[in-house]
Amino acid sequence: MELLKTKTGLKGALTVPADKSISHRSIMFGAISHGRTTIHNFLRAEDCLSSVAVFKALGVKIEDDGEDIIVEGAGFNNLKAPKDILDAGNSGTTMRLVLGILAGQPFDSKIAGDASLNRRPMERVMGPLRTMGGNLQGKDGSEFPPIEVTGTSLSAISYEMPIASAQVKSAILFAALQAEGLTTIIEKEKSRNHTEEMIKQFGGEISVDDKTITVSGGQKLVGQEVTVPGDISSAAFYLVAASLLPESDLHLKHVGVNPTRTGILDVLQDMGADIQQVGFDQQNQAADLLIKNAPLKASEIGGEIIPRLIDELPVIALAATQAEGTTIIRDAQELKVKETNRIDATAKELNKLGANIETTDDGMIIHGPTPLHGGAVDSHGDHRIGMMLQVAALLTEEAVELSHPEAINISYPDFFTDLSSLI
Ligand code: S3P
């Protein structure tokens, strides 16, 4: 498809779609808790609908009344053996977190994904779950899906994480809630903490001391009302577009600003962006963001901030192509095992449009500023690469053609309509 253009920058106000990570977890916590969970502002995008489908297949009653999603949970013990192979679609979060739940169930199950998900590494969750007593097997003895889980009971572990990953941490936490004893997880770097926050919100007990998390098994969680804030990972595309486009004056409403997710705000502000946070909603950890165009300079991005902006790195790389100086992104090797290899895809596609990006083992070196020009680019079937390329197209005079734009439905089905309303 031919991507959208603007002559005026981004102007106006927008409520970005609901947070994907929190939407997934609200279904999962609803399913394993006792009683009704009502989810306001659930993200009805393909990834989260994969989580809905998986829990329906596990016998949980989930209804969409057009406004809210209602989950009738009855605890871990009420999940039923699925009749078919569970389908996680493109969603790594669904597969990895659900493995933590399935590992401690008495029944056998099997979970698969689409071609992209079936190439993504699962040993990172299967390893610790096996240490807890879980019985999980990848395809033909590999670490790749489909994963077969043989029903068993689990015992607590103490686990020092070799990678910074909220998905791995969350899988272990879901297993720990079913395990005998007290589980301790020591994070490599602090990653998004929505699972920990929701254990508390659903009435459970969890102790978090910097990077050490402790939780006991056998707790009874109780259904809640959840309001999902806007997704800062979706807001990211507008934050960069408005920062780069002259005359922009943009207001993003009710964006989640949980500090484990706001690395992009820190980096863009360090680069010179004009972003203000107003109207903090403490209960939902959300705020409005006001963005105006500003000249950007290069930055060095690495270390503990990486998990706080991991999904935003492709669009941050785009921002860096327009910044004065050389931006270095390091410690981001996890980008290679996302929906696609996002280091290669970002560099390859932006370089087609005139960027000067070198790839490294754990990141990118971006020489800026380079004017971008038109061309034909590919999302690689990755929603975030597709949206990043649409932002790049706003910066070119000539047309940009995008192959596989449908990937964007994974997290943001209304992306093009929303963007059109601002240009
Ligand atoms: C997510 C964690 C991150 C992120 C993904 C969503 C989550 O993955 O990239 O989009 O909801 O827990 P990793 O845990 O693999 O870093």
Taking only the tens place, the pLDDT of each residue in 283-298 is 999 999 999 999 999 9
In a domain, 57, yes or no: yes
Are 205 and 20 spatial neighbours (Cβ–Cβ below 8 Å)? no
- Is the beta carbon of 167 within 6 A of some atom in ligand 1? yes
Residue type, 5: K
Task: Assess whether 165 and 238 both reside in one domain.
Answer: no
Query: What's the CA-to-centroid distance between 369 and ligand 1, angstroms?
Result: 30
**Ligand 1 atom having least distance to the Cα of 233:** 10
Average pLDDT of span 352-359: 98
> For 258-285, what is the mean pLDDT?
97
Residues 80-102 as b/e (b if ≥16 CB within 10 A, e otherwise) read eebeeebbbbbbbbbbbbbbbbb
Check residue 105 and give its pLDDT.
Answer: 98
Could you tell me if 60 and 79 are in contact, meaning their C-beta atoms sit under 8 angstroms apart? yes
Same domain, 207 and 318: no
Are 163 and 302 contained in the same domain? no
Ligand 1 atom with the shortest distance to the CA of 166: 14
Q: What does the pLDDT look like over 58-87, one tens digit per residue?
A: 999 999 999 999 999 989 999 999 999 999
* Average per-residue pLDDT for the chain: 98
Question: Which of these three, 171, 203, 227, is where a domain ends?
Answer: 227
Which pairs count as long-range contacts for 61-64, CB under 8 Å and 24+ apart, including other chains? 62/27, 62/30, 62/31
Q: How far apart are CA 221 and CA 383, in angstroms?
A: 34
Q: Is the pLDDT of residue 231 over 90?
A: yes
Query: For residue 160, what is the enclosing H or E element?
Result: strand 158-160
Do 221 and 309 have their domain in common? no
Q: How confident is the model at residue 34 (pLDDT cuts 50, 70, 90)?
A: very high
Calculate mean pLDDT across residues 267-286. Answer: 97
Report the pLDDT value the prediction gives residue 7, as an integer from 0 to 100: 82
Q: Is residue 306 part of a domain?
A: yes
Cα of 110 vs centre of ligand 1, distance in Å, is: 22
Calculate how far, in angstroms, residue 12's C-alpha sits from the geometric centre of ligand 1: 30
**114 annotated active-site:** no
Q: Could you give the dihedral angle defined by the CA atoms of residues 89, 92, 94 and 95, in that order, rounded to the nearest 10 degrees?
A: 90
Looking at the fold, whether 78 and 182 belong to one and the same domain comes out as yes
Pair 10, 423: CB distance under 8 Å: yes
The CATH number of residue 416's host domain is 3.65.10.10
Q: pLDDT value at position 59?
A: 98
Q: How far apart are the first and last CA of the chain?
A: 18
Q: Which of residues 175, 206, 227 is at a domain's end?
A: 227
Residue 161 and residue 57 in one domain:
yes
Q: What is the DSSP letter of 271?
A: T
Q: Looking at the structure, tell me whether residues 60 and 168 fall in a common domain.
A: yes
Considering the domain boundaries, does residue 6 fall inside one?
no
Query: Which residue ranges make up the annotated binding site?
Result: 20-21, 25, 92, 120, 165, 167, 311, 338, 342, 384
Q: Which residue type does 346 have?
A: T
Domain coverage including residue 305: 11-18+229-420
Mean pLDDT throughout 327-332?
A: 98
Site to probe by mutation for ligand 1, drawn from 94, 310, 313 as the one with most ligand atoms within 8 Å of Cβ, is 310
Q: Can you name the residues that pair with 111 across neighbouring β-strands?
A: 86, 147
Task: Please indicate, yes or no, if residue 299 is contained in any of the structural domains.
Answer: yes
Tokens coding 234: 């979706």
The last residue of a domain, from among 227, 244, 259: 227
Cβ burial 166-189 (10 Å sphere, 16+ → b, else e): bbbbbbbbbbbbbbeeebbbebbb
pLDDT of residue 8 exceeding 90, the answer is no
Residues 29 and 174 in one domain: yes
pLDDT at 329: 98
pLDDT at 136: 98
Measured CA to CA, the distance from residue 251 to residue 324 in angstroms comes to 26
- pLDDT over 90 (residue 302): yes
Considering its fold, how many domains does the chain have in total? 2
Assess if residue 3 is contained within a domain: no
Confidence at 38, pLDDT banded by 50, 70, 90: very high
pLDDT at 347: 98
How far does the centroid of ligand 1 lie from the alpha carbon of residue 96, in Å? 10
Considering the domain architecture, whether residues 238 and 198 belong to the same structural domain is answered as: no
Average pLDDT over residues 31-60: 98
- What are residue 250's DSSP bridge partners? 12, 291
Task: Indicate the residue type of 156.
Answer: A
CB 376 within 8 A of CB 1: no
Q: What is the pLDDT of residues 123-146, one digit of tens each?
A: 999 999 999 999 999 999 999 999
* Identity at 413, one-letter amino acid code: P
Please check whether residues 209 and 134 belong to one and the same domain.
Answer: yes
CA dihedral 243, 245, 251, 256 (to 10 degrees): -40
Please write the tens of the pLDDT for every residue from 152-183.
999 999 999 999 999 999 999 999 999 999 99
Q: Within this chain, do residues 251 and 161 fall inside the same structural domain, yes or no?
A: no
Residue 370 counted as domain residue: yes
What value does the mean pLDDT take over residues 41-63? Answer: 98
- In the chain, the percentage of residues whose pLDDT exceeds 70 is 100
On whether residue 48 sits in a domain, the answer given is: yes
Confidence of residue 328 (pLDDT cuts 50, 70, 90): very high
Flag whether 33 is in a domain.
Answer: yes
Same domain, 165 and 24: yes
Q: Give the residue whose CA is nearest to atom 4 of ligand 1.
A: 311
